[in-house]
């Protein structure tokens, strides 16, 4: 089983001040690992560092035994890491099907693209019904499905998901967490970044808490739920 990511003592900055100050954590293959942390704690910055968008200033990021910390984004993606970014960007003037196809732009085999698309449609029957609809005319929850589906079109080993529940209605939040669980059950390793503590812990095998650019706790969902760091970070 591949898709193991080890982050070792990563420091990252946008300008002078470090946003990540020595982050270390492990994402085990086949699991859902979550990163909890309040707004501004550095969650998105860590995802950007994994992807090479805001490269780590120091430290190692080992993916299946290879240090990807200094690789350009396209090589990180080619290694098997996909990301569903914060705010679930879709191409509003393209149809659902065109959005999905863009997720597999680097693939040339039509039958491979077709089978991945069928897989996405089996996960999201609603998208299958609306394959010719313009993505920009869909609800926030449906756009979230398009965004997740596009990430899956790459058939990644590891999927990074940045705050999928942000701004969604409670019904779609629940549905989205179910989808994340199903994606993992289909064999994809998931790194889920969230502020929504309870629902995130409910689908995670292991988790970490980030505070001011440092990992302040790590453990199973049961352990984390009882930790003071989690209570402090979220409930004051
Ligand atoms: N593009 C950027 N340029 C400079 N500072 C940034 C940038 N993006 C985020 N930051 C700063 O980095 C810190 C962490 O932000 P971020 O990683 O987005 O946190 P989170 O995703 O946990 O809310 C914040 O203090 C934020 O202001
Ligand atoms: Mg963020």
Nearest to 94 by CA among 126, 150, 134: 134
The share of the chain scoring above pLDDT 90, in percent, equals: 81
Residue with the two structure tokens 């609800």: 139
pTM given for the model: 0.94
Domains in the chain with CATH codes = 5-235 (3.40.50.300)
Question: What is the 87 CA–ligand 2 centroid distance (Å)?
Answer: 9
Residues, beta carbon < 5 Å, ion ligand 2: 43-44
Question: What is the 40 CA–ligand 2 centroid distance (Å)?
Answer: 7
Question: What is the 31 CA–ligand 2 centroid distance (Å)?
Answer: 22
pLDDT tens digits along 7-52: 999 999 999 899 999 999 999 999 999 999 999 999 999 999 999 9
pLDDT tens digits along 185-205: 999 999 999 998 999 999 999
């Amino acid at each position: 089983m591949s898709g193991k990511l080890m982050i070792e003592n990563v420091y990252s900055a946008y300008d002078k001040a470090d946003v990540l100050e020595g982050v270390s954590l492990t994402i085990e293959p086949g699991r859902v690992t979550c990163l909890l942390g309040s707004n501004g704690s550095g969650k998105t910055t860590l995802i950007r560092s994994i992807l090479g968008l805001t490269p780590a200033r120091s430290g190692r990021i080992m993916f299946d035994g290879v240090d990807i910390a200094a690789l350009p984004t396209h090589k990180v993606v080619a290694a098997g890491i996909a990301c569903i970014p914060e705010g679930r960007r879709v191409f509003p003037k393209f149809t659902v099907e065109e959005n999905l196809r863009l997720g597999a732009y680097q693939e040339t085999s039509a039958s491979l693209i077709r089978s991945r698309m069928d897989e996405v449609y089996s996960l999201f029957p609603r998208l299958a019904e609306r394959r010719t609809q313009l993505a920009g005319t869909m609800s926030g929850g449906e756009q979230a499905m398009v965004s997740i589906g596009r990430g899956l079109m790459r058939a990644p080993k590891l999927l990074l998901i940045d705050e999928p529940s942000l701004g969604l209605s409670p019904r779609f939040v629940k549905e989205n967490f179910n989808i994340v669980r199903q994606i993992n059950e289909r064999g994809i390793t998931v790194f889920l970044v969230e502020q929504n503590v309870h629902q995130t812990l409910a689908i995670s095998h292991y988790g970490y808490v980030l505070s001011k650019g440092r990992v302040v706790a790590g453990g199973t969902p049961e352990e984390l739920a009882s930790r003071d760091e989690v209570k402090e970070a979220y409930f004051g």
